[in-house]
Structures are given as C-alpha cells and as structure tokens.
Structure 1
Amino acid sequence: MKITVREGDTLWYYSQLFDVPLQLVLDSNNNTRKSIEAGEELEIPGYIKKEINLDKGESLWSIATKRHLPLDSLFLLNGSRDADSINEKSTLFIPIKVSKSFIQSDKPYDFNTLNKDIRRLTAIYPFIRQETIGHSVLGKPIKELNVGNGPKKVHINAAMHANEWITASVIMTFLNDYLGALTHRKTIRGLTMAPFYDQVTLSIVPMVNPDGVDLSIHGADVEDARKVIELNHGSRDFSIWKANIRGIDLNDQFPAMWEEERKEGESDPGPRDYGGEKPLSEPEALALADLTKRKNFDRVIAIHTQGEVIYWGFNGQEPPETEYIVNEFSRVSGYDAERYVESYAGYKDWFEQEFHKPGFTLELGKGENPLPLTQFHEIYQKSLGIFLAHLYL
C-alpha cells in the first residue's frame, strides 16, 4: 500500500501507526537513509488500500471505531487531518491488513498462476527481492525469491519434476504465511518469525521446470507439439511427465556420479529418467547450479513428491551435522529419514559433493504423481515443520 509522506512525519511514526516492523518498511522502500521527505511515496508492507462508501450518518470517527483502525491512518489515506472535512464525503479510503494466504491450492499450479502469485506477493510485501536466474527451453523466466538479511543462507527449490507441480504451491503457501507473520508480528506454531529476518536469508526457486509443469497440466499446446507427443510415446496424456520439454529429467542432470545414473536410466529422451547427453546440458538445471555456486548456500532442500521420506547424504560427503538436522526434520514432520539410495546425479547429491554442506531431498505426500489436491492440506501441515526448522537450525 502506497501512502504520501506528510510534513513532520517519520519512518518510525509510520511503522508504529500501521504496526509493521521498521526494518520491513525500510526494505520495502530500499531506504538506507532512515529518513523521508514530505511528498515522497512510501510503501507500507502487508496492507492494501480499499475504497468504501460512507453510509448515512457515518463519519471518519465511526469508521475508525467500527473497524478498529487508528484515526490518523484514515487522515493519511484521505489527505486530511480534519475529521469534519471528510464526514460528508461519499467514499473513503481505508487500510486493509492482508493476513490470510491467497496462494492457489485447489487447482493445478501452473506457470501463469505462479507469476500471478509472485506479482501479488511482491505488491503486498515489497521487501521481497526477486531475480530471474535463467530461462527455460521455451524462454520462460525461472524466478528466485529472497527474504531476509541474515548471514545464514538457506535455499529451497520445487517443481523440478513436471508432474510434481503441487510442490510449487506448497512452498509458495509457506512463503505467503512467513511474509504475513513477519509483517504483522504473528507466530507460526508458536515460533516468532521476526528474529529469522535478521538471522537468515531465505532463497526459494518455486518452479525450476516451468515448461514441463505446463506440459503436464495443459498438454501439448507448445509450438512443436508433434515432437513432444512422439517423446511421450504417441500419447497426449502428459500427466506422468517428469522431464523438461526436451524429455530430459532435470534431477538426473547434475555432475555427481552422472555416468552411473545414465547407465541405469532411460537411453533416450522421454517422460522420465533420461539424464541427457551430458551433465547440465539443460538451461533449467544450469540456472540452478549457477545460482547455487554464486550464492554459496549453507543448506539446501529440493522438494519432490512422493513417499513422505527425507533423503540425505551422498557417498559420505555430507558433513556430520546433516544427521542432526535430518533427525529434527523427521521429528517435526513424521517423515522417515533415509541416508543412501542407489540414485545419483540429483541436485542434493551434487550440492553435498561440491560444497560438503547439508543437502536434503524432501518427498512430500504419498500415492502416485501427480498427487491429488485433496492431499494439499495434510502435505502442507506435515512439511511446515521442516520449512520452519530450515530457518531455526
């Protein structure tokens, strides 16, 4: 919500007026001066401005009382310090606190839905930082979202496999809840979120494989539909499709025993398990690898479905604290923890091999992919503890 700064007001005053942490106001406005001048536009995170009609007999005073709003916030939004000058108006602007999640969880979560949610989140919580880390085969931007200013850098990515698109809506729901709790000084499961903003920088890539996700949900409406249908063995049903649009499995693309995984996987492009002709040949996998090298994360989680299991460790190259972390993840979620599996060339494998830091693959839910949306609430509640532990550990 944008307001116009009045003569004599301070950033601290606006922080107190709307009950929003001062640091979030500063970061929402890229303000390093901690000062403002009259006439400047100022973003107040966590609010939207709504126009309402005044009923007969209503006044600024009665609206403030009925809606539990600070009277001066109404003066501010309506360009006056005089209540009597407003009570004859037919319309009034009021601040509305955004407190509920609006991320779509009742329909398949495609690329357009993700972008719509990112636009809305960044409008309401302008202290989010976003970056395009690369582009898919079809040129769709792959977005990274960052929250926080802390020295500890943790990362989560989702929807690397096309028919696991539910993971994108799960992590976006957590992001929405986290932003709301930070802004409005709320707790999540009894934990105060405010300290994490200064302690942790959270990086999220919610949809690594946007082309594949749209293919899995909408079918072959791409330009070269004939080719991708051939890769799908002639079928127009892409619900089981895991790969990117070229038929290459992005989680078999990382240079961590890639040759061994290549021998065990499919020999040609298709819906799943083909690792390509060489590691990091696909722009989506390369973008994620480049981001990881550049940001030097302290810990990463790759979200997949299904199995309610957390995979950790890779050929003994994970640090000792990985076991402690995964045990806490398991405790707060009820998920099983499994150290080594005969599967290689995944993002988590490469991260542990390359950086010798804790990495985890989180398999949400149970059943067959794509998991039904009727599982969303249960999946979110079980995984929420892991996302929180990712911040506090």
Structure 2
Amino acid sequence: MKVKIRSGDTFWYYSQLFLVNVQLIIDSNPNLKSSSLPVGQEVNIPGFITQQYTIKRGDTFWKLAAARHISVDALLLLNQTKNPNLLKPGDIILLPKRVTYFVVNGKIEYNSTKLQEDLVKLKEIYPFITERSVGTSVLGKPLHVIKIGKGPKKVQINASFHANEWITTPILMRLVNEYVRSLTNNYPIRGLNPLPLYHQVELTIVPMVNPDGVDLILNGPPSKMKDEVIKINKGSTDFSGWKANIRGVDLNNQYPANWDIEKKRKEPKQPAPRDYPGDAPLTEPEAKAMADLARSGRFDKMLAFHTQGKEFYWGYEGFEPPQSKVIATEFERVSGYRAIQYVDSHAGYKDWFIQEFRKPGFTIELGKGVNPLPLSQFDEIYQEVLGIFLASLYM
C-alpha cells in the first residue's frame, strides 16, 4: 500500500499507525532516508492493500475507523484530498486492508508464468522483499532469486532442480508467503517469533532452478524445440518422467564433486529425460548460475528441495562440518523425515556445496510416491517441511 508523505510524518509514526515493525517499513523504502521524508512523495506500507469504499448516509471517518479498529489518522492519510467534514453519500474513499490471507495458491499446476505472477503480487504487498535474476535458462527464462532479511546469517533454499519435482516450487513459495505474512502481522509460526529471524538471517530463495523443464512437464514442449525434445524423449509425448533441463541434461548431476564417477556410471551417454550429467561439469546455464550464486552468496547453510522419499541427505565424503549433524537431528525431529548422512551419489548441488565451502548442505526429499507427486499431498508435505524451514533459520 502506498501513501503520500505529509509534513511531520516519520517511518516510526507509520509503524505505530499501522502496527508494522519499523524496520520492515524502512526496508520497503530503500530510496527514502528516514531522517527526512520528502512531503508529497509516496511511501510503501508493507502488509496492506487499499480498498475503495462508497460513503453511505451517516458515515464518518470516526465511525469507519472505529468499526475497523484502525486510527482515524490512517483514513486521513489515505484520503488527503477529502474533507472529512464534507463527506456525502456516494463519495469514494480508500480504506486500508491488512493482508492476513495467503497470496500464493500452491495447489495448482505451478509453471514459470504462475511463479512470475506470484512474485509480482508478493513484492507489491511486501516490498521489503527484493528480487532479481541470477541468470537465465536455456530458453532465456529468468532464474529468480528472492531475498528477505538483513541479518549476518545467510541461508539459501532452492527448488525444482528437477522438472517432474515441480511441486517443490509452490511448497517453497507458500513458505515464503507464510514467513512474510507473519512478519507484517507480528504473529508466531509454531510458537516462533519471526521478527528476530528477520534481523538475524538473510534468506535467499531460488524457487525454480529449472523453469524450462517445469514448463515442459506442465505445458508441453516449446515450439522452437519440439522435435528435439520429443526425440530426446524417445518419440514419446508423455513427459511425466522428465527430470532434466530442456537440453536433456540432469542439472543435479552437473557439479564438480566427483562428476567423472557419475559420468562413467550413469547409463545415458547422451541427452536424456533424466540422469545424463552432460559432457562436462557446469555446461548448462542453470547449473552455472547456481554455482555462481553459491560463490557470491557465501551462504552458511543450503537446502535443496526435491521429491520424494520423506528423508534427507546431509553429508558428503566427510567434508560436512560437525554442525551439520546437529542441524540434521533437529530437521529429523521437526519433520519426521529420516536423516541419512551418506548415499552413493556424486555431482549434486548439495555434494558440491559441502565439498566447496565445508558448510552444512541438505537435499530434502519431500513427500512420498511416484514423481510428479500429486497436489493432493500439498498440505501434508507443507506441514512436514514447515518445521525444517523454520529450523533452517533459527539454527
């Protein structure tokens, strides 16, 4: 919600007027200096939208404010061109509405277009969220990166490395929505106060690492690569088993962590719907972008959301730090998922992250069944992974 600054207004006053933490307001207005707000310029108030209201006989600002448990000055701020003493039936005014609902509807087929739409909505309501592209896919689609918080602890969470594991994206986006909603409404999540986390943690989210692959699963093959993709899929137009990017390279087998072992033993020796590690490490733009992000982000912890198995992997070749076991124990407790230290697998993003940075890294296998998991599992998976999400921030 945008309001126009009046003489004497301050971020602190807006915080008291709308009951929103002042740091969230400051971070929602990075181009404004809190020491001197310019009169007449617009300022963002996070967690609110405006609604039009038609004045009825007997309405006054005082009555409207009292009925909605808001300050009269909030109405005056939103309706600076209106004389509150001259209201008449039929006049249109603006009312502030606190957003307490979920913006993200995750229980739908969630392609890259839907992701883009939700990012626009979230940034509009919660402008303390920052968003940028860390790179592009083979087909030129942006690889979105969301940041929330300004703390010294840096956590990265990503989803949809694999195309037919696309349900991980709406799950992760709903978690983001839950977090920012709780921040502006100042309510706990499972008893945990979110505001200290905002001040302690810089959270980086990559909600869809493989947008071309996800769109292939949900929308069918792109016209410019239709023949090539069907050929890679052995002539079939059933793409439900497709994990790779649009060029048939498995993005989670692309990292220089014993990549040569995976290259030698993986059955596909050419582009395939799954498991082909490419001709060399980091040949694919999506994999390279994620490696660049890890190098520049200097994350203290990384979580990669996959499906399926209701388990997670937290070690690699003994490179994981002692803290990883402590975190894994807590993840297991809050989710019911089984913690597994080592599996016979290499060249994954988690493997490389642990090897490269000696920091805790986790591959979280959400849900259970046959990929792509059905949306009927959404609520169950969400409740299971919510504890992991929160633990990743406070540990």
| TM-score using structure 2 length | 0.97
| Percent of residue pairs bearing the same amino acid type | 51
Q: Is the 8 A contact 2:128 2:148 kept in 1?
A: yes
SS at match of 1:132: strand
- Which residue in the other structure is 2:290 paired with? 288
Is 2:13 the partner of 1:28? no
Amino acid at match of 2:98: K
- The alpha-carbon deviation at position 32 of structure 1 amounts to 4.4
Distance 2:35 2:190 in 1: 33
Distance 1:49 1:71 in 2: 15
1:136-215, aligned counterparts within 5 Å?
136-215=137-216
SS at match of 1:188: coil
Instruction: Describe the superposition over 1:195-242 as per-residue Cα deviations: whole angstroms up to 9, x where unpaired.
Output: 011110000000000000000111113312011000011111111110
Distance 2:181 2:214 in 1: 27
Distance 1:307 1:87 in 2: 62
- Which residue in the other structure is 1:381 paired with? 383
Distance 2:160 2:209 in 1: 6
Q: How many residues align?
A: 393
Cα distance, 1:246–1:32 mapped onto 2, change above 3 Å: same
- Which residue in the other structure is 1:248 paired with? 249
Q: CA RMSD in A?
A: 1.2
Cα distance, 1:255–1:32 mapped onto 2, change above 3 Å: farther
Q: Is the 8 A contact 1:26 1:34 kept in 2?
A: no
Distance 2:125 2:64 in 1: 23
Q: Is the 8 A contact 1:161 1:243 kept in 2?
A: yes
1:30-109, aligned counterparts within 5 Å?
30=30, 31-79=32-80, 82-109=83-110
- The alpha-carbon deviation at position 90 of structure 1 amounts to 2.2
Is 2:277 the partner of 1:275? yes
- The alpha-carbon deviation at position 150 of structure 1 amounts to 0.4
Any stretches of 5+ residues in structure 1 without a counterpart? Answer: none
Q: Is the 8 A contact 1:154 1:300 kept in 2?
A: yes
Distance 2:144 2:335 in 1: 27
Any stretches of 5+ residues in structure 2 without a counterpart? Answer: none
SS at match of 1:61: helix
SS at match of 1:145: strand
- Of 362-371 and 231-240, more deviation after overlay is shown by 231-240
Distance 2:274 2:33 in 1: 48
- Residue 345 (structure 1) aligned to one of 344, 347, 351: 347
Runs of 4+ in 1 over 4 A off after TM superposition: none
- The alpha-carbon deviation at position 183 of structure 1 amounts to 1.4
Instruction: Describe the superposition over 1:87-109 as per-residue Cα deviations: whole angstroms up to 9, x where unpaired.
Output: 54522200011111121222111
Distance 2:142 2:133 in 1: 6
- The alpha-carbon deviation at position 81 of structure 1 amounts to 7.9
Distance 2:321 2:63 in 1: 61
SS at match of 2:110: coil
Q: Is the 8 A contact 1:48 1:98 kept in 2?
A: yes
SS at match of 1:187: coil
- Which residue in the other structure is 1:110 paired with? 111
Q: Is the 8 A contact 2:57 2:89 kept in 1?
A: no
- The alpha-carbon deviation at position 37 of structure 1 amounts to 2.3
Amino acid at match of 2:348: G
- Of 127-136 and 85-94, more deviation after overlay is shown by 85-94
Instruction: Describe the superposition over 1:317-367 as per-residue Cα deviations: whole angstroms up to 9, x where unpaired.
Output: 100111010000000000000111111100000000001110000000000
Distance 1:382 1:110 in 2: 23
